[in-house]
Amino acid sequence: MAEELRKQSDRNFSNRQGLAAVVDASRVPPQAVEIEQAVLGALMTDNEAAIELSGFLEAQHFYHAWHAAIYESIVALVQRQVPVDLYTVHQALVDNGKIEAVGGASYLAELTLKVASSAHVVEHAKIVVEKFLLRELIRVSNEIENDSYTQTEDVQDVLETAERKIFEISQSNIRKEVKRLPTVLNDALKLIKEASKADSSIAGLSTGFPHVDELTGGWHKGEFIVIAARPSVGKTAFALNMAYNMAIKDKRKVAFFSLEMPSSSLVLRLIASETEINSKQLSSGRLTEEQWERINYAALEIAKANIFFDSTQGIGPGEIRSKCRKLKLQYDIDMVVIDYLQLITAPYSKVQNREQEISKISRSLKALALELDIPIVALSQLNRAVENRASSLYQPQLSDIRESGAIEQDADIVAFVHRPEKHKVPMYPDETPTTGMAELRIEKNRSGETGIVYLSFIASQTKFVDNLSQLDHYQQLDKALRDERNAPGTLGGGEGQGKGLRVVASEYNDGGNKKIGRAKAAEPDDSIVAGIGPYMGNPLVALQDAGDDDAPEGVEDMPF
C-alpha cells in the first residue's frame, strides 16, 4: 500500500511542477510516506498529541493527498473540541463525503496499526514538515527558473521575488492568506497574555523615552513609523538616541540605514552623547587627558550596543529589503531605522514621477515591516509649508510630509520632531522659554492616542533627553486662535461675520504651495488684526494690515 501511495503522489507532484519536473522524472521528490502514516496513526490513538500538533503541522505539509484530507478532518475535530480517535475521524470523513476518497475505513484502521504509541509523534511531524520545505524549494526554484527564461520582468524584480520566496521558506513562513476568526482570536489572546506576563508596562519596544512610551505604548511589531522634521531640527539625532536606548537598555538589535551621513559620523554623535563632550571639540581632536579617559570608557559601553550601521549611498528599496531579510535571518533584528525616506533611490521607470516613486517605496516598507514582524522607522523631510505658520508657532501638519501623501496613509504612526527655537520663537504662549526645548508630536497613531511629548535637546551633544515637565505650552495659543477665528468682524468668524473684508497680502496653503491673496477692511482707514482664518478650506497665516493699499503686482482681489 505504501509503495502504491508513493507512486501516485510522485505523479501528482510531477503534474504540479510542470515541464521542469517532467524533464527529470527519474528523480523522486522529497517525501516520507511511512512517516506520514505513523503520524496520522499516532494522532488517532492519542487525543493530546492531536491537540499539540495542530499548532504547527498543517494539511499542506503532507505529501499524499489522502493524508492531507485525513489530517484536515483531525484538525477540524480539534477545533470543535471533539475527541480524536479512529471512530470520530471516520465519522467526520463520512460526513464530508471523503471516506472513500481516502481509502475507506480499512485504510484508517491500517494507519492506527503503524505505531505502538505516540511517543515520537512530534519528531515524526518535524520530518513531515522538513520534507515539505524541500518540496517547496523545488517548486520555488522551478518558478525562478521559469521567470528567468521568460524575461517578462525587470531583472531586479526577478531577484527580489526569488529572494522573498526563499526567505519565506527559510523562515518556515509559508503564509496562509485566509485565517478563520477563531484562529485570529487565539493569536490576539496570546498577545494579551504575553503582555500581561511582561515586566514592562508597555506592550511594544521601548523607545527609551518614558513619556513617548506612555503615549504610544512603544513601537509594535509590524508597524511602519514615520518621524518627520524640517532640516537640522534633529530627526537623525532623535532616531539615533532611540536606537541606542533600545540597544543598551533593552538589549535590542537595531539596523540603522543612514543614507545621508557616514556611519562614523553617527558613532561620533554617540560618543559625544555618552561623554558629554561638545561635538565640535570632539571632531577637532583637541582633548584633555581626562576627556580621552571618558572617551575610552564610553567606547567600551558603546561597543555593547547591537546596532548594525549601513551607510550605502543611493540604495534602493530592493537592496534595503534584501539586507533586512539577511539581518533578520542571521541576527534576528528587532527594529529597522531608515534615514531618510526621500533619499531612497527608486527603480528606474519611464512613467513614474517622484511622488509615485515615494508612494511605492512607502508601501514596500510597510509590507516589509509586516513580513519581518518588526517595527520599521523611516525618517522623512517636511516641505516648506511649515515656514508659513508664524501665528501658530510653525507647528507641522500631516500634509507637510514631503513628496507624497501616501506616506501618511501607509504609516501606522506619524510623529514630528519640532523645535520652536529653530524658527526664532523665543517663548511659548505660556511664556516658557523655548531654548533647549523639543517636541515629539504624535499626529497619527493607528492603535492609540495622539498628542505632544516635550523633550529636552542638548545641542552641543546632539542629544534628546526626557523632560519631566509635560505641561501643555500651547493651551493659551489654541484658545486665542479659537477666540480670534470666532470673533465678530474678523476673518474666520461665523455666518454673516467679517462682512466687507477681502484677503490681502496674506498667505494660505493649497497642497503645500504658497498662495497670495488680499484683504481690505470695510473702511479705508480700518486695519485687520493679524491671525488665522479659513480661505477655501485652507488656513490663512501671517495676515498683514490691509489699510487701503492696492494689491501687490500680479495679485488679484479674492473676495472672502
What the block records as the C-alpha cell of 414 is: 506619524
Give the ranges where 351-474 is alpha helix by DSSP (H).
Answer: 354-372, 406-410
CB-based contact 423:393 (threshold 8 Å): yes
Task: Please indicate whether residue 260 is annotated as part of the active site.
Answer: yes
Sign for the pseudo-dihedral over CA of 378, 381, 387, 389 = negative
CA–CA gap between residue 138 and residue 151 (Å, rounded): 20
Judge contact between 555 and 517, C-beta under 8 A: yes
C-alpha cell at 26: 527519474
Q: 27 CB contacts (<8 Å, ≥6 apart)?
A: none
* 453 close to 473: Cβ distance less than 8 angstroms: no
Q: Report which secondary-structure segment, H or E, holds 515.
A: strand 513-518
- Angstrom distance (rounded) from CA 506 to CA 534: 12
The vertex-467 CA angle with 412 and 302, nearest 5°, equals: 80
Q: What gap in Å lies between CA 156 and CA 147, rounded to an integer?
A: 12
The C-alpha atoms of residue 416 and residue 402 are separated, in whole angstroms, by 13
Please say whether the beta carbons of 412 and 224 come within 8 A.
yes
CA angle at 315 for the pair 160 and 240, rounded to the nearest 5°: 115
CB 453 within 8 A of CB 263: no
Cα–Cα nearest to 414, from 379, 374, 364, 457? 379
Alpha carbon distance 297, 273 (integer Å): 13
HEC string of 432-450 equals CECCCEEEEEEEEECCCCC
Q: What's the Rg (C-alpha) of the chain?
A: 32
In the block, residue with C-alpha cell 501623501 = 405
Nearest-angstrom CA–CA distance, 473 and 426: 13
63 and 33 in contact (C-beta within 8 Å)? yes
Alpha helical stretches, state H, 276-316: 279-284, 289-302
Of residues 52, 130, 214, 260, which has the active-site annotation? Answer: 260
The alpha carbon dihedral of 271, 274, 275, 278 has a sign of positive
CA atoms within 13 A on the CB side of 47: 12
* Bridge partners of residue 309, in order along the sequence: 256
Query: In what helix (H) or strand (E) does residue 378 lie, and over which residues does it extend?
Result: strand 376-381
| Backbone phi and psi for residue 413, each to the nearest 5 degrees, phi listed first | -135, 135
From residue 519, alpha-carbon distances to 147, 387, 526 in Å are 63, 21, 11
Tell me which residues are annotated as active site. 260
